[in-house]
Amino acid sequence: MNTASMICFVIYFIVALLLIGIGISQYRSKTPVTFYSGEKPFDEKELSDVPAWNKRHGMMWISYGAMVMISYAAGAGTGSDFAWLVIPPLGGIIAMIWYHHRLIRIYRR
């Protein structure tokens, strides 16, 4: 493994761990969590099931962190930086935004 590949691995690994950490924190949270950094969290009275809301958001972040790790492994195995190291994480963000809005439709009163 050359130096550039090692640096890329370390960056992806740290980012993936941060994403998984966000997911674990949201999964365990007792108060309603939010997705966007600028978004105001819903009040508990606005959600029909706060624990389910938090667990689904937490699993979303954990899955995204795992996907970042998998995309690095796939990219390192094929040697194609752009196809595996850029497209899956960007697609994952789009999927997370869609899923968050779906959860709003399901759990918001």
Residue 22 CA, chain-centre distance (Å), reads 8
User: What pTM, to 2 d.p., does this model score?
Assistant: 0.87
Note the pLDDT tens digit of each residue in 82-103: 666 777 788 899 999 999 999 9
CB 65 within 8 A of CB 16: yes
pLDDT at 80 over 70: no
Give the model confidence (pLDDT) of 3-53 as tens digits. 877 888 888 899 999 999 999 999 999 999 998 778 888 999 999 999 999
**What are the backbone angles phi and psi of residue 108, rounded to the nearest 5°?**
-80, 130
Per-residue pLDDT at 77 exceeds 70: no
